[in-house]
Amino acid sequence: MYLPEVLRRAGVDMPVPAGAGDLAITGITADSRAVRPGMIFAALHGTHMDGRAYIPQAMTNGAVAVLVDAVPACDLSPGIMPIRVSDARHALAVIARVLTPHVPGFIAAVTGTNGKTSTVEFLRQIWTLMGLPAGTIGTLGAVAPCPLPDCGPVLTTPDSVGLMRMLGAMAENGVGHVAIEASSHGLEQRRLDGLAPYAAGFSNLTRDHLDYHGTTEHYRAAKLRLFDTVLPEGGIAAINADMDAATCAAIADIARRRNLVLRSTGEQGTTLRLLDVRPTPTGQVLRILTPAMVHDVTVPLAGRFQVDNMLLAAAMADRDAAGPDRAVPLLAHLHGVRGRMERVAVLPGGAAAYVDYAHTPDALERLLHSLRPHTAGRLVVVMGAGGDRDRGKRPVMGATATRLADRVIVTDDNPRTEQPDTIRAAIMAAAPGAVEIGDRRRAIAAGLDMLGTGDVLVVAGKGHEQGQVVGHDVLPFDDATVIRGLTGNE
Ligand SMILES: CC(=O)N[C@H]1[C@@H](OP(=O)(O)OP(=O)(O)OC[C@H]2O[C@@H](n3ccc(=O)[nH]c3=O)[C@H](O)[C@@H]2O)O[C@H](CO)[C@@H](O)[C@@H]1O[C@H](C)C(=O)N[C@@H](C)C(=O)N[C@H](CCC(=O)O)C(=O)O
Ligand SMILES: Nc1ncnc2c1ncn2[C@@H]1O[C@H](COP(=O)(O)OP(=O)(O)OP(=O)(O)O)[C@@H](O)[C@H]1O
Ligand SMILES: N[C@H](CCC[C@H](N)C(=O)O)C(=O)O
Ligand SMILES: [Mg+2]
């Protein structure tokens, strides 16, 4: 496709200079190292570096044009074809879409502090149960019933170019339904701006990532971009009506302005209203009211928060208004998500050990509440907090663990470039009576040693993760494997 056509389709409004008409565009990238002849290089201002410094390398590698923000102005040497726009990250995403011939016809995107991975995974399972080839893109990587390209290190929301490559591969292989996790970083950095999802979901908004967004308002605004910018007018806005009132009100307001179809779930929901939840030894019995009927469904998963995620997934499963009623009975067949309240071992005395990905104060609170009905004896938690991430959540998590568990062991969880004992100290300061054991394997062993009949251990924070990030190294580590090894449940 020639440059003028690319710009026209992407809605980039700029006069095309003489000579640009015969530039055939082969692709676009924001990484100078990935430039190949005929590509556009997007020179982005990042958190650590300024992409403009890499323009010479991009040109050497064969870039034919450079996409930059018009402000602040920068001089580009003559001979470089400039594409100056008001928002280069947005333009990158839209151009990446223009250069991708096919993407799946039914894309749903889910945002929220907690529950994104679980919700997109439940959506994929619901679609699959409906007989539709379906995939997901998110924290667990990309999952689909077809071969997929390697798009480098996994982010919750891939960069816009990687995202389009993945969607293109899914579409080429007949996968028509895809559920994508929309992280606040991804939304803020416009990684999803090339998508036209038919539905967007919001699970909840609680504390996280204040290191990056600064304030809760900025954090909320980043997430709301999914509804006020990414979701096309007339699309489905599905929300958990039990989340904070300010976010619900903001979405209702956007829905009115943009003619979105609002669907709400939960105890205060109107599309799927949760009338009753009863925990059983193996799952939960739900009573759900819809505008059409009452459903009684037994789901095979424990954990109250999992019900919120299932209902949100069911509300998004179909464009058609009758879709949620078709999806609810399928909840009876869902499988649990790797590392989300996953029971990995049962000890001879009947005690159980779980692995979960709770890494925010609210997630930890809900996790411990969810486990209490399954705990005849004492509830023991092994927990930590990530380095180079929101420092303010550390004491809150320590206090939450102390309030809701009977025994707390504070350990390391991806210290990254921080001093691990400083992170632990911040948690310990709000966790009187907690035991501090930096080495995660020893901490898990100590937790298992504490268990008697009817007790429950939960190892929180790393879920499916396969490594402990120390400095810039990733040391192999899997909570579930460690528990199985220590208990002989291999
Ligand atoms: C803070 C953040 O989100 N950073 C992401 C961002 O990097 P950046 O734009 O700040 O990049 P930078 O390193 O400053 O470089 C600036 C520009 O120079 C370019 N460059 C750089 C070097 C070079 O040789 N040539 C070159 O062209 C880079 O490609 C980039 O375009 O864009 C990069 C490409 O997409 C991401 O890899 C990178 O993710 C980093 C590794 C990261 O850790 N991100 C985390 C915080 C993140 O995104 N997490 C979210 C949320 C998780 C959640 O809520 O659960 C996620 O979606 O995963
Ligand atoms: N609806 C929910 N409300 C509160 N906590 C939840 C909810 N769903 C899951 N959690 C908790 O959050 C943890 C992470 O869940 P999940 O991986 O689905 O969230 P996520 O939003 O994808 O997280 P991330 O931001 O890391 O991608 C779970 O292990 C559980 O402890
Ligand atoms: N074990 C984790 C969870 C990280 C979740 C991730 N989505 C993020 O905040 O980057 C950590 O804090 O390192
Ligand atoms: Mg996730």
Distance, CA of 450 to CA of 459 (rounded, Å): 13
384 burial type by CB count under 10 A (0-12 exposed, 13-18 middle, 19+ buried): buried
Per DSSP bridges, beta strands 27-29 and 39-42 are parallel
Query: What percentage of the chain has pLDDT greater than the value 70?
Result: 100
Distance, CA of 277 to CA of 284 (rounded, Å): 6
Distance, CA of 230 to CA of 421 (rounded, Å): 41
CB 314 within 8 A of CB 332: no
360 burial type by CB count under 10 A (0-12 exposed, 13-18 middle, 19+ buried): buried
Closest atom of ligand 1 to CA, residue 186: 57
Give me the chain's average pLDDT, please. Answer: 95
Render pLDDT for 266-307 as a digit per residue (tens, 0 to 9): 999 999 999 999 988 889 999 999 999 999 999 999 999 999
Q: Kindly report which listed range (10-19, 347-356, 428-437) carries the lowest average pLDDT score.
A: 10-19
Ramachandran bin of 336, using left for φ above 0, alpha for ψ from -120 to 50, beta for the remaining angles: beta
Q: Which residue has tokens 């009817």?
A: 454
What's residue 204's pLDDT?
A: 96
Class of domain 3-99: alpha beta
At 395, list the tokens. Answer: 């004491």
Give the HSE-up count for residue 376: Cα atoms under 13 Å, Cβ half-sphere. Answer: 8
Return the DSSP state at 230: I
**Average pLDDT for residues 389-394, to the nearest whole number?**
95
Residue spans of the domains in the chain: they are: 3-99, 106-333, 342-487
Q: Tell me the ligand closest to 472's alpha carbon.
A: 1
- Which strand (E) or helix (H) includes residue 288? strand 284-289
Distance, CA of 402 to CA of 412 (rounded, Å): 17
What's residue 259's pLDDT?
A: 98
Q: Is the CB of 484 under 6 A from ligand 1?
A: no
What's residue 325's pLDDT?
A: 98
Give the max Cα distance, the chain: 79
**Average pLDDT for residues 86-100, to the nearest whole number?**
97
What's residue 207's pLDDT?
A: 76
C-alpha of residue 211 to centroid of ligand 4, in Å: 18
* Nearest CA, atom 11, ligand 3: 386
Distance, CA of 61 to CA of 76 (rounded, Å): 17
Per DSSP bridges, beta strands 272-279 and 284-289 are antiparallel
What's residue 289's pLDDT?
A: 98
CB 122 within 8 A of CB 310: yes
Distance, CA of 220 to CA of 354 (rounded, Å): 31
Q: Is 181 annotated as a binding residue?
A: no
| Residue 147 pLDDT grade (very low, low, confident, very high; cuts 50, 70, 90) | very high
Distance, CA of 301 to CA of 48 (rounded, Å): 42
What's residue 20's pLDDT?
A: 81
Nearest CA among 226, 229, 236, 252 for reference residue 316:
236
Render pLDDT for 9-59 as a digit per residue (tens, 0 to 9): 999 877 777 778 889 999 999 999 999 999 999 999 998 999 999 999 999
* Alpha helix segments (H runs only) across 214-283: 216-225, 245-258
Which residues, in sequence order, are bridge partners of residue 485? none
> Is residue 113's pLDDT more than 90?
yes
Which residues, in sequence order, are bridge partners of residue 272? 265
Please name the fold of domain 106-333: UDP-N-acetylmuramoyl-L-alanine:D-glutamate ligase (3.40.1190)
What's residue 348's pLDDT?
A: 84
Closest atom of ligand 2 to CA, residue 337: 18
* Nearest CA, atom 44, ligand 1: 155
Q: Tell me the ligand closest to 54's alpha carbon.
A: 1
What's residue 21's pLDDT?
A: 84
Per DSSP bridges, beta strands 39-42 and 65-69 are parallel
Distance, CA of 91 to CA of 44 (rounded, Å): 11
Please provide residue 208's backbone torsions phi and psi, each rounded to the nearest 5 degrees. -175, 165
At 159, list the tokens. Answer: 């960069």
Render pLDDT for 462-478 as a digit per residue (tens, 0 to 9): 999 999 999 999 999 99
What's residue 490's pLDDT?
A: 72
CB 428 within 8 A of CB 434: yes
Q: Which amino acid is at 297?
A: V
Nearest CA among 145, 116, 141 for reference residue 128:
145
Q: What is the DSSP string of 354-389?
A: EEE---SHHHHHHHHHHHGGG-SS-EEEEE---TTS
CB 85 within 8 A of CB 12: yes
Q: State the CB neighbour count (10 A cutoff) for residue 202.
A: 28
Distance, CA of 367 to CA of 441 (rounded, Å): 21
What's residue 444's pLDDT?
A: 98
Q: Is the CB of 275 under 6 A from ligand 1?
A: no
C-alpha of residue 111 to centroid of ligand 2, in Å: 11
What's residue 209's pLDDT?
A: 83
Render pLDDT for 187-223 as a digit per residue (tens, 0 to 9): 999 999 999 999 999 999 987 888 888 899 999 999 9
What's residue 316's pLDDT?
A: 98
Distance, CA of 447 to CA of 405 (rounded, Å): 12
C-alpha of residue 164 to centroid of ligand 3, in Å: 24
Strand order from edge to edge, sheet including 294-299? 141-143, 134-138, 177-181, 106-111, 199-202, 236-240, 261-266, 272-279, 284-289, 294-299
Torsion from C-alpha of 436, 455, 341, 269, nearest 10 degrees: -110
At 324, list the tokens. Answer: 């949620």
Please name the fold of domain 342-487: Protein-Tyrosine Phosphatase; Chain A (3.90.190)
What's residue 154's pLDDT?
A: 86
Q: Is the CB of 31 under 6 A from ligand 1?
A: yes
| Residue 407 pLDDT grade (very low, low, confident, very high; cuts 50, 70, 90) | very high
Q: Which amino acid is at 351?
A: A
Rounded to two decimals, the ipTM of the complex is 0.96
Q: Is the CB of 186 under 6 A from ligand 1?
A: yes
Cα–Cα distances in angstroms (integers) from residue 350 to residues 29, 95, 191, 380, 444, in the given order:
54, 57, 47, 15, 18
298: helix, coil or strand?
Answer: strand
Q: Which amino acid is at 279?
A: P
**Average pLDDT for residues 368-386, to the nearest whole number?**
96
